[in-house]
Amino acid sequence: MAELSQTNAPIYEALRKFRRMRVVPFDVPGHKRGRGNMELTEFLGEDCMNVDVNSMKPLDNLCHPVSVIKDAEELAAEAFGAANAFFMVGGTTSAVQSMIMYACKEGDKIIMPRNVHRSAINALIITGAVPVYVNPDVNKKLGIALGMSVAQVEQAILDNPDAKAIMVNNPTYYGICSDLRKITELAHAHGMLVLVDEAHGTHFYFGENFPVTAMAAGADCASVSMHKSGGSLTQSSFLLLGKNINADYMRQVINLTQTTSASYLLLSSLDISRKRLALSGREIFAQTVEMAEYARSEINEIGGYYAYSRELINGDSIYDFDVSKLSIYTLPIGLAGIEVYDLLRDEYDIQIEFGDIGNVLAYISVGDRKRDIERLISALAEIKRRFGKDGADMLTQEYISPVIAETPRKAFYADKLSLPLEETAGEVCSEFVMCYPPGIPILAPGELITEEIIEYIKYAKEKGCQMTGTEDINIERLNILDF
């Protein structure tokens, strides 16, 4: 590492050198630097198509890196304060699944909050690991699940001393953080690994006054969505390892599912973005927080809306809050979050990250401009004036604690019966039902379907939430276990 520093971007530099070589391609991809698909080249540009190349000696191989990718991984590990870092081209989904596949075999227990991303439950289906859910506390006003209570985690450990790992969402989609240091200390004291879904926390590593990072808290693994707040291309992420994880075995685990044809567009975007954040992250995220704080203040001045922040902190299930997140509660103006989301897009040409039953999230980054923030604030004020109404009869419950009847793996692969949604109460679901984003299941395989859940699904559909996960694309029927 002596000859390399954070000013380097080894993959990017190798691609630039390769492009100057004018190599004649008799390998894949078949578009041959764009010449074979001119419409695509005109759309994406020659520069892009020229570096959409296959693995070769000068460019290394993601499955078994020995040169430029290895160097880039070492620089990433250094930048994030990790023992090792892996470039992930299957998104943070792939990183989450690799963490769980590393920690758990069939029948092993893993303690996790139920409000995990579907990728974590997918990993349970793949591995056959058994979840021990810690149902998070809920802020009943906002209708959102909070972080993991330390007392709940401790009880889960005492009740399940044979569990192999604990998984933590940190931060949640809404910006809420658990007491990660204390949870990590507890887990390690009982011989359990700590896996952190840090998809929304890239900026924690590079900015100031953010919640503690997974690596600084002593966690064993963290999955980081560099493409969210880190500026890389969609689908590119990092998997970070602590010092007690066998990196060579982890690479074998990753290679079970990750492509052997890694995109150099994604790899170079991770490399360049890591360099940018390592050199300028403090200034970048100071600017981001300044914009988010300004927007929050102005939105709260409108009245009705509630853009929440650190005032929610309770020292436990809300141990800290990510102030770069612009999460806004909408029910007081008589509109569901998803309705505000749709109005912003359809009436004002503003695309925000997501809307659920009671909240919206506007993702703020250094790519935003002050005038964009002003336009969002003005649009929200107009939506309240034009479309706001009495909030009576609005459904407020966002998170519903599930009843677990079967393991996700057994339920997913079991014989199934399809029933109309209204007739499924009391049955055990064998598929996912979720709003995406954020991709946290309302129902997961193996969970009991209740009248409350059916009401919630119907209400979410009526309000326009984008529902996914079911075999029936219209979600008029659900697959249940056919005992």
- Kindly state whether residues 375 and 447 are assigned to the same domain: no
3-state helix, strand, coil in the chain (%, to 5): 40, 15, 40
For residue 330, what is the domain's CATH number?
Answer: 3.90.1150.10
**Neighbour tally for 24: CB within 10 Å:** 7
What is the value of pTM for the model shown?
A: 0.94
395 within a domain of the structure (yes/no): no
Last residue of a domain, one of 230, 256, 278: 278
- Kindly state whether residues 343 and 251 are assigned to the same domain: no
CA proximity to 341, closest of 322, 327, 354, 325: 354
3 within a domain of the structure (yes/no): no
- Kindly state whether residues 340 and 356 are assigned to the same domain: yes
Task: Indicate whether 466 pLDDT > 50.
Answer: yes
- Kindly state whether residues 297 and 245 are assigned to the same domain: no
Model confidence pLDDT, tens digit, residues 326-339:
999 999 999 999 99
- Kindly state whether residues 272 and 341 are assigned to the same domain: no
Last residue of a domain, one of 387, 421, 450: 387
1 within a domain of the structure (yes/no): no
- Please state the domain count of the chain: 3
What is the bridge-based pairing of β-strands 84-88 and 237-241?
Answer: antiparallel
For residue 444, what is the domain's CATH number?
Answer: 3.90.105.10
Model confidence pLDDT, tens digit, residues 162-188:
999 999 999 999 999 999 999 999 999
Last residue of a domain, one of 358, 387, 416: 387
Which pLDDT belongs to residue 396? 65
220 within a domain of the structure (yes/no): yes
Which pLDDT belongs to residue 135? 86
- Kindly state whether residues 202 and 339 are assigned to the same domain: no
Model confidence pLDDT, tens digit, residues 355-413:
988 999 999 988 899 999 999 999 999 999 999 998 766 666 666 778 999 999 999 99
- Kindly state whether residues 269 and 312 are assigned to the same domain: no
- Kindly state whether residues 68 and 215 are assigned to the same domain: yes
Q: Tell me which residue range forms the domain holding 429.
A: 408-481
392 within a domain of the structure (yes/no): no
327 within a domain of the structure (yes/no): yes
- Coil, strand or helix at 131: strand
Q: Give 139-202 as a 3 state SS string.
A: ECCCCEECCCCHHHHHHHHHHCCCCCEEEEECCCCCCEECCHHHHHHHHHHCCCEEEEECCCCH
The percentage of residues in the chain with a pLDDT greater than 70, rounded to a whole number, is 98
**Neighbour tally for 280: CB within 10 Å:** 12
199 within a domain of the structure (yes/no): yes
How many whole angstroms separate alpha carbon 445 and alpha carbon 410?
A: 8
- Kindly state whether residues 148 and 232 are assigned to the same domain: yes
Which pLDDT belongs to residue 394? 67
For residue 21, what is the domain's CATH number?
Answer: 3.40.640.10
- Kindly state whether residues 154 and 40 are assigned to the same domain: yes
DSSP state string for 207-229: SSSPPPPTTTTT-SEEEE-HHHH
Model confidence pLDDT, tens digit, residues 205-255:
999 999 999 999 999 999 999 999 999 999 999 999 999 999 999 999 999
- Kindly state whether residues 348 and 457 are assigned to the same domain: no
Q: CB neighbours of 482 closer than 8 A, spacing ≥ 6?
A: 414, 415, 416, 417
Mean pLDDT lowest among 70-84, 213-227, 237-251, 466-480: 466-480
Which pLDDT belongs to residue 141? 87
- Kindly state whether residues 374 and 474 are assigned to the same domain: no
399 within a domain of the structure (yes/no): no
